[in-house]
Structure 1
Amino acid sequence: MPNIKSAKKRMRSSEGRRIGNLAVKTRVRSARRKAREALEAGVAETAGVAVREYSSVLDKAVKRGVVTKNTAIRRKKRATEALRKLEA
């Protein structure tokens, strides 16, 4: 346990940030799973909606600083490519 006042405050604030980041990461994983399942199901309409939702969630995670920009771009690109392959 910290003895210094600023260290105690830092511990409280980092715990709050950890919980917030955990919520965002969970949201990203759920959207990713839904997109993957929709793509595997082979229905282009539902897959398109799921991929758009996944892209939106990734962008919000980048804005919060939970996921880096390049990681989000790479994941969105792969999901979009899978969607295009399904539509073709």
Structure 2
Amino acid sequence: MPNIKSAKKRVKVTQAKTLQNKMVKSALKTVIKSAEIALEQNTENKAELVNTAIKKIDMAVTKGILHKNCAARKKSSLARKLNASA
């Protein structure tokens, strides 16, 4: 446990940021999973769900939660699956 005031603040700030990042990452995983399920079941709104997932992936990159290459890989995977199901 830190004794210095600034170190105590850093602990609190880090905990808050960790929670925020965890929320964004969890929401991202949920959106990607729902898009993949829509692609597997060939629903009519699969393109819309894929576009939403791609937008969320890009937002995660801007927030620093995902690396840009990881995001590119996820986006290309979704696009490939969408084109294959069309």
Q: What letter is aligned with 2:75?
A: K
Answering whether residue 35 of structure 2 is matched by residue 38 of structure 1, we say no
- Once the two structures are TM-superposed, the CA of residue 76 in structure 1 deviates from its matched residue by 0.3
TM-score normalised by structure 2 residue count: 0.95
Match of 2:18 in 1: 18
Match of 1:55 in 2: 54
Q: How far apart in 1 are the matches of 2:62 and 2:27?
A: 14
Q: What letter is aligned with 1:72?
A: A
Count of matched residue positions in the alignment of Structure 1 and Structure 2: 86
Q: How far apart in 1 are the matches of 2:72 and 2:62?
A: 13
Q: What letter is aligned with 2:78?
A: A
Q: How far apart in 2 are the matches of 1:22 and 1:6?
A: 24
Q: How far apart in 2 are the matches of 1:60 and 1:16?
A: 19
TM-score normalised by structure 1 residue count: 0.93
Match of 1:9 in 2: 9
> Structure 2, unaligned stretches of length 5 or more?
none
RMSD after superposition = 0.8
Match of 2:28 in 1: 28
Q: What letter is aligned with 1:63?
A: T
Q: Report the identity percentage.
A: 34
Q: How far apart in 2 are the matches of 1:77 and 1:18?
A: 28
Match of 2:74 in 1: 75
